[in-house]
Chain A
Amino acid sequence: MPSVTLYHWEPNANSGKPMLALMEKGVAFDSRYLDLLNFDQHKPEYLAVNPQGTIPAMLHGGRVLTESTAIMEYVEEAFEGPRLMPEDPRDRWRVRWWMKFMDQWLGPSFSMIGWSVFVGPSVRSRDPKELEAAIERIPLPERRVAWRKAISGQFSATEMEESRRRVAQGIRMLEQELARRPWLASGQYSLADINGFNLAYALPLSQPSLSNDELTPNILRWLRAIYARPATKACWALGRTSLVKRVAILEQPHIGRGPVA
């Protein structure tokens, strides 16, 4: 039986980070899928594992670990396998800089758009009383606000516009950085690339006018290189929703500026 248990949703955003890191390291884990759209993460069984009700959480050696990026650093340090952090201290600084930027600035903007077009509509048709009861069970007040907004479609025009501005700027920054080196933060594949792929794997589909082979050739090269890795293929094969199956866009040899089918 594996010594690691991972509670996760789809290979997407925060859940996908430790999933892919574990698979790159070759660490077997007991996968416990939580259906975010069914509010599994706020049910008593999971709150007994992680009282904050956030996904993912990892069990190892009788301890519970949370916070996806910090879990990835733990996975890198606690297990044998290919190195996912560069040797050079300055490269490691760059890995962490990019992960923070994506976790706290760029990611929430992608996420606001994703929640408004996928998560909100996916649950909106359910019984309002059932939804309200589910929201009331969310331990963190900030998450209650986020869920209410997503479900009722209450993101303001100003908020959405700011998120779109940040996504456009983030894409420009990623393209610029990936023009300088093969991987995001250093000359080797690292946790920053795992983090970035979870954020951007469907970029040419979700933002076709901002990211394609003509406008952002380096981002596309980078996404395809990560998708070509066996661990990535195995990880994304665990996906169950249409959200994650969008990764197939990367199988197209050329993605132009025009509308994507």
Chain B
Amino acid sequence: MRITLYHGEPNGPSLTVLATLLAKQLPAELRYIDLARGQRHALPFAHEPLVAMSIEGEGPVLVVDGEALSDSVFIACYLDDVGQGAALRPAEPYARWETMRWCRQMIERTAPAAAYLGCRAYPPRAEAGILEKIDSLDLRARWQQIMAGEFSAEQLADSRIKIHQAVDRLEERLADRDWLMGAFSIADLESFAWLAGMVALVPEAFAAKSRTAAWLARVRDTPAVTGALALARSAQPAASWSVGPEINRWG
């Protein structure tokens, strides 16, 4: 099995996948791409439908024996299946349901909000000629809006609310446990990956949240996350953002 991971700075979806890869002790070739410059769209497999139409926005791509895989949580599930070491999802079906449901909430509600706020604070800038290469027209439209500095006050406010809600859920969940699903799991990685950069941008959401603060430190100290963060090319990987998933169109 030959694995190559095309990834950006260890933040958001790239962090989830890099940390999972390290936790599962899988040999892989790592290739850095600047997601904030849209470099994913210049890769040879960028127009494969399951890469081009990934609704994650600008995330990493894992190439396994010639097939390109996108969507960080599902790549992490794949790596969990094929890798070594401790399982990163619980074995019991109900706990697995909780894990997938938790990740779905992160994917659907938290990630779009975090990426929107992150891009507002640290705007990505696509290289010349990249936007025309983006097959997904809605992703291309999000790039155009962000590069033009068009942020809606309503969506910014709603995004902050979503970060507050995510941290509230974390704080509540951590009342009787160190890790979200009992043992260290993909849910911890995915939640950390989107929220670590929000501490500086929405500090009030984290105020007086001692359990969340301790959990953030605990996740950061895991060998997998420490190892992933050591791959950063910038001093502050949590300040590296690119265009994220779409904010829910309706309902």
Q: Which residues of A contact B (CB under 8 A)?
A: 61, 63, 65-67, 69-71, 73-74, 77-78, 89-90, 92-94, 96-97, 100-101, 104-105, 108, 111-112, 142-143, 145-147, 149, 155, 159, 162, 165-166, 173, 176-177
Given contacts A66-B101, A104-B55, A145-B250, are A90 and B67 in contact (CB under 8 A)? yes
B71 adjacent to A100 (CB under 8 Å):
yes
Chain B binding surface SS class: helix
Q: Which residues of B contact A89 (CB under 8 A)?
A: 78, 81-82
Give the docked Cα–Cα distance between A163 and B75 (Å): 28
| Known interface pairs A90-B67, A93-B77, A100-B74; 15 further A-B residue pairs with C-beta atoms within 8 A, sorted by A's residue number | A61-B94, A66-B101, A67-B100, A69-B104, A94-B50, A96-B71, A96-B74, A97-B50, A97-B70, A97-B74, A108-B251, A143-B251, A145-B250, A155-B250, A159-B250
Sampled A-B contacts (21; CB under 8 Å)? A61-B94, A67-B100, A69-B100, A70-B97, A70-B104, A74-B96, A74-B97, A77-B93, A78-B94, A97-B50, A97-B71, A100-B71, A104-B107, A108-B248, A108-B250, A142-B250, A146-B250, A146-B251, A155-B250, A166-B138, A173-B49
Query: Which of B78, B97, B138 neighbours the largest number of chain A CB atoms within 10 Å of its CB?
Result: B97
Residue B29 CB within 8 A of the other chain: no
Q: Which residues of B contact A97 (CB under 8 A)?
A: 50, 54, 69-71, 74
Chain A binding surface SS class: helix
Shortest distance between the CB of B172 and any CB in chain A (Å):
14
Shortest distance between the CB of B232 and any CB in chain A (Å):
27
Interface size of B in residues (CB-CB distance below 8 Å): 32
Shortest distance between the CB of A183 and any CB in chain B (Å):
15
Q: Which residues of B contact A65 (CB under 8 A)?
A: 94, 97
